[in-house]
């Protein structure tokens, strides 16, 4: 008795896992969570969530790891459950669907039931024309005991439409998982001459040149980066990339993401050269064990000297570059102001000089090994939808005995509309 009870529980759980209702519930839950993951910024520091979300909402984000939603164990678990559901559902349905696709007309059943069908007043020599008008061409025929049977099944592949769509979802979800957990997205930036490591790979990006193109109204029309791709220090490819025209090579895609200004900054301590660096927009030049720091707040490439309090540019070109900076000493902000190129920025024993402003390029590097599978899944989805909506299975059976003609026909896709069409065709051919 106990074993039978255990078997029943197992069967119920198994039925639940491959049921369509369970799959729909999972899809809805995952869809809602994905919307939440789009609304809440992902992969930020805990400080970011503390500053932007308070009380109950912060606790919710913290407890359920909503800031790393797509990597959370329970989101991954739901995706695995969905894959299992779709897989079991596909396996369970495949044999019955295949039988329907390859089904042959059961003429014995036709002979048992034909007298319950509707009779039509269409002459025998018009039967093929009538059937062709309905989409049934090249009818098969068979004579049995003085009766002539016309029969045909069309668009049987349409039965596979929903099944193919279901399989496509499995492929797309697996592609998402492969891309998410085996791919990477890395950002690098620099001025021409900079070589950056691509984190987590053996690749390096050498930025050879960066150009900002303008139209006749001095509005930026395009950003162009020339680069060299290296692997373990060896050149393997080179080329250019622009906005909407990425660089592709060795399985990675490199996109023009953003740009900004950089400066060459020099630090002196007690009038002796101490350190120099390339300082990028919003960065800090921190030295001497954190005792002194210069922040690059903003650069005005063509500063309007006629109205300095407006903090505006006359053009995007570096005709009169002025730096808005902040200076920190022992962790405290001690100064904030404007400095031209070559001006001294001084505090205590430290002096900063900034000059040679130039544009830097920010590049987005993507590697998604799941993209091929995603394309296959998308193609399968299209095929499945075409099969489901445009290859609607239909059956036609006609029996002629003496001067009587019996008809049965069915469409396995909006049969009511098909019945209306069938009646119109019958009226048309009965009048001929």
Q: What is the CA radius of gyration of the chain?
A: 36
- Give residue-wise pLDDT tens across range 312-330: 888 889 999 999 999 999 9
Q: Is residue 196 part of a domain?
A: yes
- Mean pLDDT value across residues 210-229: 90
- Chain-centre distance for alpha carbon 132: 44
pLDDT digits (tens, 9 = 90+) for 148-164: 999 999 999 999 999 99
User: Measuring CA to CA, which residue among 348, 402, 412 is closest to residue 147?
Assistant: 402
| 177 domain residue, yes or no | no
- Is the Cα dihedral 138, 143, 146, 149 positive or negative? negative
Averaged confidence pLDDT in the chain: 89
Per the domain annotation, does 234 fall within a domain?
yes
- Which of 367, 385, 419 is the last residue before a domain boundary? 367
pLDDT of 6 over the 60 cut: no
Considering its fold, how many domains does the chain have in total?
A: 3
Strand runs labelled E in 145-271: 147-154, 184-190, 195-197, 203-214, 220-231, 234-242, 247-249, 252-269
Residue that has been written with the tokens 């000059």 in this structure: 355
Q: Are residues 89 and 125 in the same domain?
A: no
The CA–CA distances, whole Å, from 152 to 100, 149, 395, 432 equal 14, 10, 6, 23
pLDDT over 70 percentage in the chain: 97
Q: How far apart are CA 37 and CA 99, in angstroms?
A: 42
Closest by alpha carbon to 254, among 244, 246, 262? 246
Alpha carbon distance 413, 356 (integer Å): 71
Using the structure block, give the residue that is written with the tokens 């193609």: 379
Residue with tokens 């540019």: 313
The answer to whether residues 24 and 95 belong to one domain is: yes
Query: Do 290 and 331 share a domain, yes or no?
Result: yes
Q: Please say whether the beta carbons of 313 and 303 come within 8 A.
A: yes
Instruction: Tell me what pLDDT residue 129 has.
Output: 94
pLDDT of residue 1: 46
Residue 227 confidence (pLDDT):
95
Do 272 and 130 have their domain in common? no
Give the tens place of pLDDT for each residue, 342-375: 999 999 999 999 999 999 999 999 988 888 899 9
Specify which residues 229 forms β-bridges with. Answer: 205, 237
Whether 215 and 243 map to the same domain: the answer is yes
- Same domain assignment for residues 290 and 412: no
Asked whether residue 208 falls in the same domain as residue 337, the answer is yes
CATH of the domain at 413: 3.30.310
Q: Is residue 141 part of a domain?
A: yes
Which whole number is the average pLDDT over 366-388? Answer: 92
Question: Is 268 in the same domain as 398?
Answer: no
222 and 363 inside one domain: yes
34 belongs to a structural domain: yes
Q: From 343, 326, 324, 323, select the one nearest 335 (Cα to Cα).
A: 326
Residue 88 belongs to some domain of the structure:
yes
**Tokens 């059956």 belong to residue:** 395
Domain stop point among 100, 120, 146: 100
Whether residue 7 is predicted with pLDDT greater than 60 in this model: the reply is no
pLDDT band at 393 (very low <50, low <70, confident <90, very high): very high
Cα-flanking dihedrals φ and ψ of residue 201, to 5°? -135, 175
Average pLDDT over residues 115-129: 91
Within-domain flag for 285: yes
Q: What is the pLDDT of residues 406-420, one digit of tens each?
A: 999 999 877 788 999
Does residue 169 register a pLDDT over 70? yes
Q: What is the pLDDT of residue 4?
A: 52
Handedness of CA 248, 250, 256, 257 (dihedral sign): positive
Q: How far apart are CA 369 and CA 373, in angstroms?
A: 8
Q: Residues 276, 218: one domain?
A: yes
Yes or no: say if 247 and 239 are a contact pair by the CB < 8 Å rule. yes
For residues 229 and 363, membership in a common domain is answered with: yes
Alpha-carbon dihedral of residues 365, 236, 259, 293, nearest 10 degrees?
90
Q: Is 279 domain-assigned? A: yes
Do the Cβ atoms of 152 and 396 come closer than 8 Å? yes
Other C-beta atoms lying within 10 Å of the C-beta of residue 390: 11
Give me 314's structure tokens: 């006359």
- For residues 302 and 98, give the distance between their C-alpha atoms in angstroms, rounded to a whole number: 72
List the single range of 42-51, 72-81, 111-120 with lowest mean pLDDT.
Answer: 42-51
What's the whole-number mean pLDDT along residues 207-224?
Answer: 89
Range of the domain at 72: 2-100
CB 69 within 8 A of CB 35: no
pLDDT higher for 15 or 353?
353
236 torsion bin: left (phi>0), alpha (psi -120 to 50), beta (else): alpha
Q: Are residues 207 and 257 in the same domain?
A: yes
């Amino acid at each position: 008795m106990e074993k039978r009870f255990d078997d029943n529980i197992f069967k119920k759980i198994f039925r639940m896992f491959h049921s369509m209702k369970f799959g729909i519930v999972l899809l809805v839950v995952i869809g809602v969570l994905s919307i939440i993951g789009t609304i809440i910024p992902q992969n930020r520091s805990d400080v970011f969530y503390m500053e932007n979300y308070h009380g109950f909402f912060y606790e919710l984000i913290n407890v359920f790891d909503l800031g790393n939603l797509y990597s959370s164990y329970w989101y991954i678990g739901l995706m695995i459950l969905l894959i299992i559901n779709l897989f079991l559902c596909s396996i369970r349905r495949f044999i019955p669907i295949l039988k329907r696709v390859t089904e042959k007309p059961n003429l014995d059943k036709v002979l048992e039931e034909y007298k319950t069908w509707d009779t039509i007043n269409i002459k025998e020599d018009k039967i093929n024309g009538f059937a062709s008008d309905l989409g049934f061409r090249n009818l098969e025929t068979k004579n049995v005991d003085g009766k002539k049977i016309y029969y045909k099944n069309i668009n049987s592949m349409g039965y596979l439409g929903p099944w193919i769509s279901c399989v496509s979802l499995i492929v797309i979800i697996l592609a998402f998982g492969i891309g998410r957990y085996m791919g990477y997205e890395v950002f690098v930036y620099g001025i021409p001459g900079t070589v950056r490591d691509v984190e987590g790979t053996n690749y390096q990006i050498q930025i050879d040149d960066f150009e900002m193109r303008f139209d006749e109204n001095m509005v930026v029309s395009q950003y162009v980066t020339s680069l060299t791709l290296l692997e373990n220090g060896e050149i393997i490819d080179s080329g250019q990339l622009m906005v909407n025209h990425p660089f592709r090579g060795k399985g990675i895609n490199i996109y023009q993401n953003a740009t900004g200004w950089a400066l060459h900054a020099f630090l002196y301590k007690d009038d002796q050269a101490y350190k120099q660096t390339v300082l990028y927009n919003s960065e800090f030049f921190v030295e001497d064990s954190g005792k002194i720091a210069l922040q690059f707040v903003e650069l005005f490439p063509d500063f309007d000297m006629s109205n300095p309090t407006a903090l505006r540019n006359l053009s995007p070109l570096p005709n009169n570059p002025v730096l808005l900076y902040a200076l920190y000493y022992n962790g405290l902000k001690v100064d904030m102001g404007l400095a031209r190129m070559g001006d001294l920025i001084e505090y205590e024993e430290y002096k900063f000089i900034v000059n040679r402003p130039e544009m830097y390029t920010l590049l987005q590097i993507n590697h998604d090994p799941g993209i091929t599978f995603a394309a296959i899944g998308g193609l399968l989805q299209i095929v499945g939808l075409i099969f489901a909506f445009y290859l609607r299975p239909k059956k036609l059976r006609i029996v002629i005995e003496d001067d009587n003609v019996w008809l049965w026909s069915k469409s396995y896709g909006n049969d009511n509309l098909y019945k209306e069409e069938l009646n119109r065709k019958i009226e048309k051919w009965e009048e001929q």
